[in-house]
Amino acid sequence: MSKLEILGRHTSYNVQKVLWLADELNIEYTHTQIGGRFGGTDSSEFLRMNPMGKVPVLRHGANVICESNTIVRYLAASFAAESWMGTTPFERSLRERWMDWSIGNLEPAFVGVFWGFYRTPADKRHRKSIESSVKACEICLRQLDNQLGNNHFLLGSVPSLADIATGVFLHRLWEIELAIEFPDNVRNWYDELSKRPGYKRWAMSDFAELANRTGY
C-alpha cells in the first residue's frame, strides 16, 4: 500500500480536518509539521506540491492532493469510507452542501472572530467588525442547530464529512473568550464530537501559541 504523508502544522484547523479523519479511518500515516512557526511553505519543494503555499497537503504515493475539503473527500474515497461520504450522488450532495457552506459561510465568520479577536493584539482590534463576525457565527450555529435537530451528527446517527468540515471550528468558538451563543443541539453535537479520539486529539488541541499572532 502507498505511503500516506500529511503535511501541515496541527494548529491549522484545515490540517485538523485531515488528521481527524485519518484517525477516524484508522489509516497509517506520517505527519510533518509545516507552516506557521515551523515555516517551510515557501520552499521550492513545497511550492511544487502546492503553488498556493498553504497547508494541508497530502502525499499518497505519487499523488499530491491539496485543499482540505478535497483531501478529506480523497481519503474517504480511497479508503472506502462510504458512510463518511455517501454512496449515491444524492447522499454525497447532502454531505457536500455542508462542506461548501462551511467554506462560504462558517469559515469567513469564524475567521472574523478568530483572527479579528484572538490573533490580533487588544490595541489593534476592531470592535465593530468582531461584533458583526460574532453575529455571523451565531447565524451559522443556528443553521447547524436546525440541521442537527436531535441527531448526534449533521446527517443522522453516524458522523460524515459534513461533520469534519464544520465541526472543526466548534472548539475554538467555544473556548474563545467572547460571548458566542451555542444553541442546545450544537452544544450536544460538540459534546458528541468531543468523545471521538480523533476530534479530541486534533481539533481540541491547544492553540494558545496563535494568540496575538497576526502573521503565520
Ligand X SMILES: N[C@@H](CCC(=O)N[C@@H](CS)C(=O)NCC(=O)O)C(=O)O
The residues binding ligand X (CB under 6 A) are 9, 12-14, 35-36, 41, 54-56, 67-69, 216
In the complex, what is the shortest distance from the CB of residue 32 to ligand X, in angstroms, rounded to a whole number? Answer: 13
Instruction: Give whole-number Cα distances, 70 to 57, 65, 77, 121, in Å.
Output: 10, 7, 10, 33
**Nearer CB in complex with ligand X: 18/141:** 18
Torsion sign across C-alpha atoms 194, 199, 201, 207? negative
**How far is the C-alpha of 47 from the C-alpha of 53, rounded, in Å?**
6
**Nearer CB in complex with ligand X: 9/92:** 9
In the complex, what is the shortest distance from the CB of residue 167 to ligand X, in angstroms, rounded to a whole number? Answer: 15
In the complex, what is the shortest distance from the CB of residue 45 to ligand X, in angstroms, rounded to a whole number? Answer: 15
**Nearer CB in complex with ligand X: 54/59:** 54
**Nearer CB in complex with ligand X: 164/193:** 164
The identity of residue 159, as a single letter, is: P
**Nearest Cα to Cα of residue 213 among 114, 116, 120:** 120
C-beta of residue 202 within 8 angstroms of C-beta of residue 20: yes
